[in-house]
Each structure stands twice: as structure tokens, then as C-alpha cells.
Amino acid sequence: MTAFPRLPPRSPDSHKGDFGYVLLIGGSMGRTGAMALAGTAALRSGAGLVQVATPRACQSIVASFEPSYMTAALEHDEAGRISLTARDRLAELAEKATVVACGPGLGRSDDLSELVGWLYTHLKQPAVFDADALNALATRPQILSQAGGPRILTPHPGEFQRLTGAEQRMPRDEAERRAAELAAQCGAVIVLKGHRTLITDGQQQFHNTTGNPGMATGGTGDVLTGITAALLAHKLPPLDAARLAAHLHGLAGDLAAAELGEVSMIASDLLHYLPRAFQQHGAAS
């Protein structure tokens, strides 16, 4: 098996600007925890700066979870979902970012479908699209091959079904074949989540071997989004970042399960075990 990528060692005179600026976009009323999980995971995975852009109505809630990331307020609709009118503000925020990640807690609307499509085609930075950002892309699949920069898509089987327009859930072997085909067609890295998560760029394919059924709980995918974004911010190539993120995510879950058991695990447990996962893996050379 190909060796896992490693992060470069930190210089004694390092500063936060050396480790990337992650912009996370998402959240909606009633779904603020997703952004808190993703933002904290990005910090725990070594990002130098993390900014969480979320609806104005959600900002104080998201900020209350973790004092170490910054927050930015976005215009929103009556249901508390990010509005298309926030596009100029997002463009301004994205100018400073090393990496962008979009999707956790986002919700669905026509405005969001248009906004996510614009982010996908216009952002030049590496970007991660997860959760409802994938559902937004599924409404306009013709743009998947029009990415403005490197892209990582992290669908679970249901989201992948919608991305491909399939009428029903595919058997795993067929889904993996189609994931590799889609990755090749759109020039993206696809992380098809599930047991033995597949990571592929259409040319190479890897299966993740860490993780356990205790991770089948809401919010664990948001943690993976934050880890992936942080590793991209360290300038790892997208395939390497996605592969290492899946490994560390699952390893944190295995460490949590060993002490807590699978039944009682929740997504925030992964955040507590991520430092140990990085140490155990030896992610820095």
C-alpha cells in the first residue's frame, strides 16, 4: 500500500499564517452545530486561522461553541438559510482564504443552489463540498466539470445517488465504479463515504481502513470536512489531503470507541481524540 502523506515539521519560528486560512461556509437555523464541529475540527487539524461564515441569525450561536475560530455574519432568508445576497460578502471573505469548505448545516433552497454553483465555478482556491452543498450541485450537474480550482467532494451514498441522478441507491461496487468515473470526468477528488470509504481522483483509488460503526451518528461528516480543509491548507495535494483526512478521522473514531464504546459515541467525541490520532499516526515527518 502507498505510504500515507505526512505534514512537514513545524519550524520553531512558525506563525499562524504559515498553516493556512480556512473559510467554512454553512449553517442555518436549527443546524448550527454542524459548523461548530467543522470549524473546531479544522483547528484541531492544524489550520492557522479558521473563519466560519454563517447566517447572521446563527452567528452568536456558532461563536459560542469555540472561541478559537472567527465568525462572519451573512445575509439570510426568512428560514435562516444563507441568501444569494451574501455572494459579494463571501467573495470578499474568500479572497483572504487559503482553502474554502462549504456545506455543513447549509440547508436547501433555490438561492443556495445558485450560490453553491457560483462558489464551485468561481473560487480559484482548493475547496471541499459536503452535505447540502452536494445536494445543491446535484441540481446543476452540468457544472461539475467547470470547477474554478481543485475540488474535493465528500458524498455519503444518498448524496452520491443525487449527484449522479441515479433513480435508486446503487450497490457499493457500482457506486465505487461510478465515483471513479465521475472524478475523472470532473477533475475532482471524490470521497465516497461509508464502510471502507473510497478516495479516488479517477486515476488512483484508495480504501480507508480506519473507523467503526460508532461513527454512524450525525455530525461525523462535518468533522471530516474540517479535517480535510485543514490538510488542504497545509498545501497537501487534494488526493493526499483527502486520503490522510479519512484515515485520521477514522483513527480518532477508533480511539474514541476503545474508551467510550461504539453505542455512546457522538461526533464531538472525535474532536477530543483528533490530537491523539495525529500523534499516533505521526502525521508530521
Per-residue pLDDT of 28-49, as tens digits, reads 999 999 999 999 999 999 999 9
What is the pLDDT of the chain when averaged over all its residues?
96
Q: What is the model's pLDDT at position 213?
A: 97
Q: What is the pLDDT of residues 214-252, one digit of tens each?
A: 999 999 999 999 999 999 999 999 999 999 999 999 999
Is 198 a member of any domain? yes
Residue 201 clears pLDDT 70, i.e. is over it:
yes
Is 146 a member of any domain? yes
CA 252 to chain centre: 16
Is 248 a member of any domain? yes
Domain of 201, in residue numbers:
20-280
**Which of 11-20, 40-49, 91-100, 180-189 is predicted with the least confidence, judged by mean pLDDT?**
11-20
Q: What is the biggest distance separating any 2 CA atoms in the chain, rounded to whole angstroms?
A: 54
Is 5 a member of any domain? no
Q: What is the pLDDT of residues 56-76, one digit of tens each?
A: 999 999 999 999 999 999 999
In 113-264, beta strands by DSSP E: 127-129, 151-153, 189-192, 198-200, 205-207
Q: What is the model's pLDDT at position 282?
A: 79
What is the share, in percent, of the chain residues with pLDDT greater than 90?
Answer: 92
Is 121 a member of any domain? yes
- Mean pLDDT over 73-98 rounds to 97
Q: What is the model's pLDDT at position 270?
A: 98
* Rounded Cα distance, 139 and 71, in Å: 29
Q: Contact 35/27 with Cβ under 8 angstroms?
A: yes
Residue 285 clears pLDDT 80, i.e. is over it:
no
Residue 54 clears pLDDT 80, i.e. is over it:
yes
Is 4 a member of any domain? no
Question: What CATH number is attached to the domain comprising 153?
Answer: 3.40.1190.20
| Confidence label for 80 from pLDDT (cuts 50, 70 and 90) | very high
Q: Provide the number of structural domains found in the chain.
A: 1
Q: What is the residue-wise DSSP string for 106-157?
A: ----HHHHHHHHHHHHH--S-EEE-THHHHHHHT-GGGGG--SS-EEE---H
Is 111 a member of any domain? yes
Is 8 a member of any domain? no
Strand partners, 284: 7
Residue 190 clears pLDDT 90, i.e. is over it:
yes
Q: Contact 56/74 with Cβ under 8 angstroms?
A: yes
* Rounded Cα distance, 25 and 127, in Å: 11
